[in-house]
Every structure is written in C-alpha cells, then in structure tokens.
Copies of this chain bind each other. A is one copy, B any other.
Amino acid sequence: MPKEKKYHHGDLKPALVEAGIAILEEEGLDRLSLRAIAGRVGVSHTAPRNHFANLRALLTAIGTEGFRRHAAAMREGLTETSPGPERLQAATEGYIRFARRHPALFELMFSKHYCDFDDPDLLAAARRSYAVLEEISRGLDWPGAEGPDRQLRTETMLWSLVHGYALLALNGQIREGEERGRMPWITEVVPRFRYEEA
C-alpha cells in the first residue's frame, strides 16, 4: 500500500494551494484558515511556514492559481470563435461563469485583504487575465469610443461593467434565480455593444 505516512510530505507547497482551493469550494471563505489548510493536507499548522512566509503569502499563491483558472475560463470557447461579437460574449460569459462557480475563490482573488498585489507572480497572472479583456475590447464600438484614450477607456468600461456585475451577483444583490426576471443577465447587457465594421 502506497499510503504510508511519511514525515516529509514531498510536495507540500502545491498541495497547500490545492487544499486551500478545495476548502474555498467546499466550505467557503470564512472557513479558510491556516490550520484548516494544513490539517487537510495532514501536516501541522506550522509546516506551511517552510514554504510561505505567512498566511498572506499562502493566500496570495491561492489567488495566483485562481487568476490562472480565471483566464482559462475566459478563453474557453474563445479560441474557436471568429473575431466579432461572439468573442465579446464568450469572454464576458466566462468571467461571470467563473465568479458564479467559484465565488469564494473569486472574492479572495480580488480583495487586497487577502492577496498581496505586489507579489510578482500574482501580478503576472492577473495581467494575463486582464489581457483577455484587453483583447476583446479592441475595436469595440460604444458611445465612448472616441478621442485619444479610446482603447484604454474601452477596457476600463468593459472591465468595470463585468467585474461590478460579478461582484453584485456574488453578494446577493443580483440573485441567480431572479436574473431572467427582475435582473437581466450580463449577456443581455454586454452584447448591446457592437463592433465596428472592420
């Protein structure tokens, strides 16, 4: 039986990140603690200290992995879609879908309360996630698409819109059950913006 209990774990660092994400999925952000993560992996609560300076560093690593999956979720269905409105819809849907399916992880990712945005790895992962929005906002036409900072303004508009919707939905202000009734889903808002004739 390969399930011997060894003194050394062997691959603790990524295991802690995985355990943290698992707790977020199963129990939520409130239940995420250093001791809970360590306990889930089967080590003492001080073992993570050999790989992460403190809890914040571990949470930042969890957030980094979150951004990787977040970017992947947005790119899902984006690769095979030809340029145009469908790409916009696919990416924004991916953004919201990720937030809905992994609410605790999403909340952790975007809160400086948990994540250290000065961390180079986190920053790189977050930028790669932002790059998707940047990409699809290219050529997007809307009332503010004019002037010198057009591209930047368009990115900001799109990011704010999607991010705001996701967070409001997460906090219960926009309930999932009501979204088709009282509250319109994001896909009924975003696609109103059209791309220019290329």
Q: Count this chain's copies in the assembly.
A: 2
Interface 0/1 of A11-32, CB less than 8 Å to B: 0000000000000000001100
Does A4 have its Cβ within 8 Å of any Cβ on chain B?
no
Which of B110, B144, B160, B171 touches A112 (beta carbons < 8 Å)? B171
Q: Is the CB of B149 within 8 A of A188?
A: yes
B-binding segment of A33-41, A65-73, A189-197: A189-197
Q: Using Cβ atoms and an 8 Å threshold, which residues of chain B touch A110?
A: 167, 171
Does A52 have its Cβ within 8 Å of any Cβ on chain B?
no
Q: Give the distance in Å from the alpha carbon of A161 to the alpha carbon of B164 in the complex.
A: 6
Interface 0/1 of A161-195, CB less than 8 Å to B: 11111011011111000000011101011001110
Q: Is the CB of A157 within 8 A of B161?
A: yes
Q: Is the CB of A164 within 8 A of B159?
A: yes
Q: Give the distance in Å from the alpha carbon of A94 to the alpha carbon of B165 in the complex.
A: 19
Does A143 have its Cβ within 8 Å of any Cβ on chain B?
yes
Q: Using Cβ atoms and an 8 Å threshold, which residues of chain B touch A174?
A: 156
Q: Is the CB of A192 within 8 A of B142?
A: yes
A144: min CB distance to chain B, Å: 3
Q: Is the CB of A117 within 8 A of B172?
A: yes
Q: Give the distance in Å from the alpha carbon of A86 to the alpha carbon of B178 in the complex.
A: 32
Q: Give the distance in Å from the alpha carbon of A112 to the alpha carbon of B167 in the complex.
A: 11
Ranked nearest first, the 5 interchain pairs of A and B with the lowest CB-CB distance are A164-B164, A144-B192, A160-B164, A160-B165, A163-B164
Q: List 16 A-B contacts (CB under 8 A).
A: A112-B172, A117-B172, A142-B192, A143-B143, A143-B193, A144-B189, A152-B182, A152-B183, A156-B183, A156-B189, A157-B161, A157-B189, A159-B164, A160-B165, A161-B161, A163-B167
| A-to-B contact residues, CB < 8 Å | 29-30, 107, 110-113, 117, 142-144, 149, 152-153, 156-157, 159-165, 167-168, 170-174, 182-184, 186, 188-189, 192-194
